[in-house]
Amino acid sequence: MNILIVGLGLMGGSYAMGLTQKGHKVYACDINTESIEYAKYNKLIVDGSTDASTYIPNMDMIIIGLYPNHIVDFLKKNSKLFKKGQIITDLCGIKTYFLEEAQRYCGEAEYISHHPMAGREKSGVVHSNIEMFKKANFLITPTEKNTDYAIEMMKALGLDLEFGRISVVTPEHHDAIIAYTSQLTHAIAVSLVNADTDVDSKNFVGDSYRDLTRIAKINEELWSELFFDNKEALLKKIGDFERELDEIKAALANGDKELLKKKFISSTNHRKEME
Amino acid sequence: MNILIVGLGLMGGSYAMGLTQKGHKVYACDINTESIEYAKYNKLIVDGSTDASTYIPNMDMIIIGLYPNHIVDFLKKNSKLFKKGQIITDLCGIKTYFLEEAQRYCGEAEYISHHPMAGREKSGVVHSNIEMFKKANFLITPTEKNTDYAIEMMKALGLDLEFGRISVVTPEHHDAIIAYTSQLTHAIAVSLVNADTDVDSKNFVGDSYRDLTRIAKINEELWSELFFDNKEALLKKIGDFERELDEIKAALANGDKELLKKKFISSTNHRKEME
């Protein structure tokens, strides 16, 4: 296939790497010419440009690796260039916020969304790697407008990139899950680090604190967008979490050791099921 | 030195392994004879018994690896056997709760406390290993009753076990830090897992959720003791954390993107300082 990657960051670059290795002809566009040059020089792509319009007509698939708010802008700008038979998709971590609009501006092409649940604390095409996909989840989030063909194309994409597990969920279910497993975890890590009032504590941490706060190093532009674009679901999950923490606080304050033990046994069993 | 380990679990066994490798003569007592047999067979100790009293008189150092509530019981039972020049210490994760009493019941010996900030999700002597000490913090928590000699003996113990960093702090400071870096992190992980209301979410997790919830598998007996024995400090830290999380919630609810970004930038900078 001819594949165009729009936005050549860490994820776009890693997609380019994996898809080129599988024999696809991969092109890329990015506002940063250095990223393009790097990807060409390292044979991640056949060619690239700051302008997507010359490539679009010849592509079988277009993969958009832009921030949520820029996806629809890109589609609006190029909607007349998209052709029947083309598949357009994105890598975005939230779905309901923009998906209806994206499907409205994809012209003759078919727009179907997916979410690769992999990432690194590092950003930029120079850190591209496909190892991070190996054990990761690949979620396809079709709407009722999508065809079986498009869903199969997405499954093929997940297989080409060698994701650990490929699943199909509705965009609404996706966003509710992500609010819990991804955005809430980041909100917690950020709050834990910011609650530190002791200059010494960084010298006295164990593995648990280190693991819990690794994701407190966070790209503020991307994540403030993700938080706001999934605001309702996230607010609900923060509330669910705080109620649980308040129960631990109450058990402590009331000297209710049995309730505390019950909470620990419950979390232990639940966490074991995940493994 | 002749060293007695009281309580041959994961930590006691790992201490025995490390100290035997450094040439000390290590003995152990435990209510579980199988643990003693395992340790003898694997040459972690010279000998062991369910009864500590025959060993105590000949020891230079006694290291208590029991749950917090059992430390003082052990001391009371044996206080008349402890001799001048002996050092008694413990591995316990909280200090102010029992330390004054421990120093009252150590007889002629000197009681000084320390905390090895290392651990594994697995328990029992069969999982003993000294690798976990290599990058970990070793905190010595003397009171004004302790001599310089005892502090030096503790430093030598940390060096023998090859801990990554050895520090001296007051018991009060230790407990405040631990409430934040250890007990609060466990309360958060437990609450996050218990807040899960979606049967599917375990199939859709990324690395961040996995890292954050690893410690939600928790020994309910030990940790409910640790929580209650450091109750005031922990309640304060849960409050500090909830205030931070509430600020994120408010920023979201009020559409204050700039405040959210400020929180992310602050946590990013703070977390980087730790590395």
Nearest to A206 among B117, B231, B263 (CB): B117
Q: Report the gap between the CA of A39 and the closest CA in chain B (Å).
A: 27
The B residues from 6 to 65 touching A (CB cutoff 8 Å) are none
Contacts of A46 (CB under 8 A, 6+ apart): A25, A26, A27
Dump pLDDT digits (tens) for A87-130: 999 999 999 999 999 999 999 999 999 999 887 767 889 999 99
DSSP state of A47: E
The angle formed by the CA atoms of residues B34, B39 and B45, to the nearest 5 degrees, is 135
Please indicate whether, in this complex, the C-beta atoms of B237 and A195 are within 8 angstroms of each other: yes
Q: Is the pLDDT of residue A203 over 80?
A: no
pLDDT, position A208: 83
Among chain A residues, CA nearest to B264: A220
Dump pLDDT digits (tens) for B6-61: 999 999 999 999 999 999 999 999 999 999 999 999 999 999 999 999 999 999 99
Q: What number is the ipTM of this complex?
A: 0.81
When pLDDT is cut at 50, 70 and 90, the band that residue B275 belongs to is confident
CATH 3.40.50.720 in chain B is located at 2-169
Q: Return the half-sphere exposure (C-beta side, CA atoms, 13 A cut-off) of residue B81.
A: 17
pLDDT, position B184: 95
Q: Say whether residue A211 is in contact with chain B using an 8 A CB cutoff.
A: yes
Sheet of B87-90, strands arranged across: B47-49, B25-29, B2-6, B61-64, B87-90, B110-111
CATH 1.10.3660.10 in chain A is located at 174-273
Residues of chain B in contact with residue A182, where contact means CB-CB under 8 angstroms, are: 206, 208-209
Q: Report the gap between the CA of A53 and the closest CA in chain B (Å).
A: 33
Please indicate whether, in this complex, the C-beta atoms of B206 and A237 are within 8 angstroms of each other: no
8 Å CB contact between A258 and A266: no
What is the rounded CA–CA span in Å between residue B37 and residue B47? 9
8 Å CB contact between B59 and B86: yes
Nearest to A185 among B208, B220, B263 (CB): B208
Nearest to B217 among A181, A223, A268 (CB): A268
Could you tell me which residue, A4 or B210, shows the higher pLDDT?
A: A4
Compute the mean pLDDT over every residue in chain A, rounded to the nearest whole number: 93
Among chain A residues, CA nearest to B274: A202
Please indicate whether, in this complex, the C-beta atoms of A177 and B188 are within 8 angstroms of each other: no
- Tokens representing B154 are 């503790």
Please indicate whether, in this complex, the C-beta atoms of B192 and A191 are within 8 angstroms of each other: no
pLDDT, position A273: 86
Pairing assessment for the beta strands A61-64 and A87-90 based on DSSP bridges: parallel
Residues of chain B in contact with residue A134, where contact means CB-CB under 8 angstroms, are: none
Dump pLDDT digits (tens) for A238-273: 999 999 999 999 999 999 999 999 999 999 999 988
Class of domain B174-273: mainly alpha
- Decide yes or no: CATH 3.30.200.190 for domain A2-169: no
Dump pLDDT digits (tens) for A119-146: 776 788 999 999 999 988 999 999 999 9
Q: Is the pLDDT of residue B200 over 80?
A: no
The A residues from 78 to 117 touching B (CB cutoff 8 Å) are 117
pLDDT, position B119: 76
Among chain B residues, CA nearest to A236: B249
Residues of chain B in contact with residue A253, where contact means CB-CB under 8 angstroms, are: 235
Q: Say whether residue A201 is in contact with chain B using an 8 A CB cutoff.
A: yes
The gap between the terminal CA atoms of chain B, to the nearest Å, is 36
pLDDT, position B39: 96
- H or E stretch covering B117: strand B113-117
Specify burial of residue B40 (Cβ count, 10 A radius: 0-12, 13-18, 19+): middle
Please indicate whether, in this complex, the C-beta atoms of A204 and B240 are within 8 angstroms of each other: no
